[in-house]
Amino acid sequence: MQNDKATNEKINDDLLRPLRQTGWAWRVTVVVCAIFLLAAVAAFAYQLQRGIGVWGINRPVFWAFDITNFVFWIGISHAGTLISAILRVTGAEWRRPITRCAEAITVFALMIGGIFPIIHLGKPMLFYWLAPYPNERGLWPNFRSPLMWDFFAINAYFTGSLIYLYLPLIPDLALVRDKATGWRKTIYAKLSLGWRGTQRQWHALEKAVQVMAVIIIPVAVSVHTIVSWDFAMAIQPMWHSTMFGPYFVAGAIFSGIAALILAMAVIRKVFHLENYLQPIHFNNLGLLLLTLSLLWFYFTFAEYLTTWYGNEPHEKVVFQSKISGAFAPLFWTMVVCCFVIPMPILAIKKLRSISGTVIASLTVLVGMWLERFLIIVPTLSQPRLTFNWGSYRPTIFEITIAVGTVAYFILLYAVFTKLFPIIAVWEYKEGLTVSPLPHPHHDPAGATIATAE
């Protein structure tokens, strides 16, 4: 029993340390990210004042950096809820230290991805017109518009992801409540919803988490399928494809796992959580990343093979611009980043170390952003009507907003780690037990931790 208490104290101390101690690296990160975020806000304010013409978009390229970033961030959001839910439903025990890292990524990525369609609107302040509500003008949204589908899908996914993140937080909020004092104790007491760790509460929590895990998987798949329909429903060269749904979902999980690996590596190093985020977690996620790399290559090869073999003139123009034309450097960089570099690193066990998976993940994120860009811009710049061809070059305002959203994501993640345990304390403790039946362990802080296999 004394060993159990010592273990509980050690786990509590390690996993709650980031909430108590603030290092210089965290402060520098917050300041730098805040500066970039303010620059992005200033660029957006200038756009509101002068109009969307300050961007590089022009006829016929009306979608560019904004929609590229929208699709990219919605894809990143599949890191958490989908990966965490699948691992939870399948009973993968190694998932326990990484679930909250992943679930937080989902919520923050959705918050950022949902901003871009609003930024893209000519009058962003009228974004609420997307919501179907009774109004004196008698106007209703066009339910045949893919933008309308995005509105409902993203809001449903965000709501579900927020619930899925919050439910497993409740026992840890109670643990922090019992250790906090003053106004912090009051806030955490309200957030923990009166949690006392009774058998009834544990039963209700576990059932609710399992139900949400089952619900969120089809919701996550449907979201990126609907995002792919933004393109596939248009009769544009290399867009009108029935393969776009699974192609986009596979790419989303691909980039999401890469983002999760990077986040875990940073958290492990900054907060000294080497004993919790171990090489086996990076190895297993690296194997998943390898599988998705092969799947991505298969989908990409199939998509471009059918275009080449079909030899339809309008599609061949876009195809050639990517393979050997103006967009060829970006296309082959994408192939190298998504397949040529990560595949051998992740396939060879000696290279599939923590540093190896981090390098592979970095290249995957670069390659997947390029993939989204190459889906959008080459097709729009070379539509079926040749007299309407155009070109696109981003301006400093688009680049600043894009960089600012990356800083915004890092800032949100940094603040989250200061307010909540980034590794689920109760889930980690639950995974330590080898007892086949649930039984309670009482830690020194007074929060009951039920453990079960």
Domains of the chain, residue spans: 19-132+141-293+394-451
Determine the 3-state secondary structure of 243 from DSSP.
Answer: coil
pLDDT of residue 437: 35
Distance CA 287, CA 292 (A): 9
For the chain, list residues with pLDDT below 50.
1-2, 434-453
- Residue 247 main-chain phi, psi, to 5 deg: -60, -45
Distance CA 139, CA 137 (A): 5
pLDDT in tens, 19-72: 888 788 889 999 999 999 999 999 999 998 888 888 988 888 888 888 999 999
**Per-residue DSSP letters for 8-66?**
HHHHHHHHHHHHH---HHHHHHHHHHHHHHHHHHHHHHHHHHH-GGGSS-BTTB--SHH
Cα 400–Cα 340–Cα 293 angle in degrees, nearest 5: 80
- Tokens at 332, concatenated: 């082959």
Rounded to two decimals, the pTM is 0.89
What is the distance of C-alpha 276 from the center of its chain? 22
Contacts for 178 with CB less than 8 Å, ≥ 6 apart: 445, 446, 447
Which H or E run includes 441?
A: strand 439-442
- Tokens at 113, concatenated: 């991805």
pLDDT of residue 5: 67
pLDDT of residue 347: 95
pLDDT in tens, 155-176: 999 999 999 999 999 999 999 9
- Tokens at 111, concatenated: 């918050």
Contacts for 118 with CB less than 8 Å, ≥ 6 apart: 124, 127
pLDDT of residue 411: 96
Q: Rounded to 5, what percent of the chain is helix, strand, coil?
A: 75, 0, 25
Q: What's the chain's Rg over C-alpha atoms?
A: 23
Smallest Cα–Cα separation from 264: which of 250, 284, 248, 249? Answer: 284
What is the distance of C-alpha 362 from the center of its chain? 14
